[in-house]
Structure 1
Amino acid sequence: MKLFRRIFLLVLCLAVWIPFSTTAAEQPASSVVAVTIKGEIDGGQSALLHRAFQEAQKNNAQAMLIELDTFGGLVDAAVQMRDLIIDSPIPTICYIKNRAWSAGALIALAHQSIAIAPGGSIGAAEPIPTTEKTVAALKAEFAATANKTGRNPRVAEAMVDKSLGLPGYAEPGQILALTDYQAKEVGFADFVAVDRAAVLTQYGFAGATVIEYQPQWTDRLA
Structure 2
Amino acid sequence: MKKYSTSPKGRLVKEGLTISLCLKRLIFVCVLAVGIWGSIWPGNAATDQAQIVFIPIKGTIEPGMSGFVERSLDKAFRMGAKKVVLEIDTPGGLIDSAQKIKSLVFASKVPTAAFVSGEAKSAGVLVALAAEEIYMSPAASIGAAEPTPNTEKVRASWRSDLESAAEARGRRADIVAAMVDRNMVIENVKKKGEILSLSAKKAVELGIADQTVRNRNGLLTELAQKDGVYYQAVDITPGWGETLAWWIINPFVAPLLLLIGFAGLMAEAFTPGWGVGGTIGLVALGIYFGGHMMAGVTGWLAIFVFILGVVAILLEIIVIPGFGAAGIIGLALVVWGIFLASTSPLQAFISLTVATVGSIVLIYIMIKVLGHRGMFTKLILGTKLDSASGYNSPKKGMEKYLDLTGVALTPLRPAGSAELAGDRVDVVSDGRFIPQGSWVKVILVEGARIVVKPVQSTKNEEV
TM norm structure 1: 0.84
Does residue 223 of structure 2 align to residue 203 of structure 1?
yes
Residue pair 2:139, 2:199 contacting (<8 A) in 1 also? yes
Corresponding position of 1:15: none
| Structure 1: unaligned runs, 5 residues or longer | 1-23
Corresponding position of 1:108: 128
Q: Tell me the secondary structure at the aligned position of residue 104 of structure 1.
A: helix
- Separation (CA, whole Å) in 1 of partners of 2:190 and 2:174: 13
Task: Give the letter for the 1:117 counterpart.
Answer: S
Q: Render the CA deviation track for 1:75-118: whole Å, top value 9, x for unaligned.
A: 00000001111111211110001100000001001110000011
Corresponding position of 2:199: 179
Residue pair 1:127, 1:160 contacting (<8 A) in 2 also? yes
- Separation (CA, whole Å) in 2 of partners of 1:94 and 1:35: 10
Residue pair 2:143, 2:196 contacting (<8 A) in 1 also? yes
Q: Tell me the secondary structure at the aligned position of residue 88 of structure 1.
A: coil
Q: How many residues align?
A: 198
Corresponding position of 1:48: 68
Cα drift, residue 54 of structure 1: 1.3
Q: How does 1:70-89 map to 2 (within 5 A)?
A: 70-89=90-109
Cα drift, residue 213 of structure 1: 0.5
Identity of aligned residues (%): 33
Corresponding position of 1:189: 209
Q: 1:66 aligns with which of 86, 91, 108?
A: 86
Q: How does 1:84-103 map to 2 (within 5 A)?
A: 84-103=104-123
Does residue 163 of structure 2 align to residue 143 of structure 1?
yes
Does residue 139 of structure 2 align to residue 119 of structure 1?
yes
- Separation (CA, whole Å) in 1 of partners of 2:220 and 2:112: 12
- Separation (CA, whole Å) in 2 of partners of 1:188 and 1:218: 35
Corresponding position of 1:34: 54
Residue pair 2:166, 2:173 contacting (<8 A) in 1 also? yes
Corresponding position of 1:170: 190
- Separation (CA, whole Å) in 1 of partners of 2:239 and 2:55: 12
Task: Give the letter for the 1:133 counterpart.
Answer: K
Q: Tell me the secondary structure at the aligned position of residue 116 of structure 2.
A: strand
Q: Render the CA deviation track for 1:16-39: whole Å, top value 9, x for unaligned.
A: xxxxxxxx87x9731111111110
Task: Give the letter for the 2:149 counterpart.
Answer: P
Q: Tell me the secondary structure at the aligned position of residue 190 of structure 2.
A: coil
Residue pair 2:105, 2:112 contacting (<8 A) in 1 also? yes
Runs of 4+ in structure 1 over 4 Å off: none
Residue pair 1:166, 1:176 contacting (<8 A) in 2 also? no
Cα drift, residue 170 of structure 1: 1.6
Cα drift, residue 48 of structure 1: 1.3
Q: 1:152 aligns with which of 172, 190, 204?
A: 172
Of structures 1 and 2, the larger Rg is shown by 2
Corresponding position of 1:5: none
- Separation (CA, whole Å) in 2 of partners of 1:46 and 1:169: 33
Cα drift, residue 51 of structure 1: 1.2
Cα drift, residue 218 of structure 1: 4.6
Task: Give the letter for the 2:153 counterpart.
Answer: K
Task: Give the letter for the 1:212 counterpart.
Answer: D
TM norm structure 2: 0.41
Does residue 152 of structure 2 align to residue 132 of structure 1?
yes
Corresponding position of 1:19: none
Residue pair 2:118, 2:137 contacting (<8 A) in 1 also? yes
Higher relative contact order (CA 8 A, sep 6+): 1
Cα drift, residue 59 of structure 1: 0.7
Residue pair 2:77, 2:109 contacting (<8 A) in 1 also? no
Residue pair 1:165, 1:175 contacting (<8 A) in 2 also? no
Residue pair 1:69, 1:100 contacting (<8 A) in 2 also? yes
Residue pair 2:49, 2:230 contacting (<8 A) in 1 also? no
The CA RMSD over aligned residues, in Å, is 1.6
Corresponding position of 2:239: 216
Residue pair 1:64, 1:90 contacting (<8 A) in 2 also? yes
- Separation (CA, whole Å) in 1 of partners of 2:94 and 2:102: 12
Residue pair 1:32, 1:63 contacting (<8 A) in 2 also? yes
Q: Tell me the secondary structure at the aligned position of residue 177 of structure 2.
A: helix
Residue pair 1:123, 1:177 contacting (<8 A) in 2 also? yes
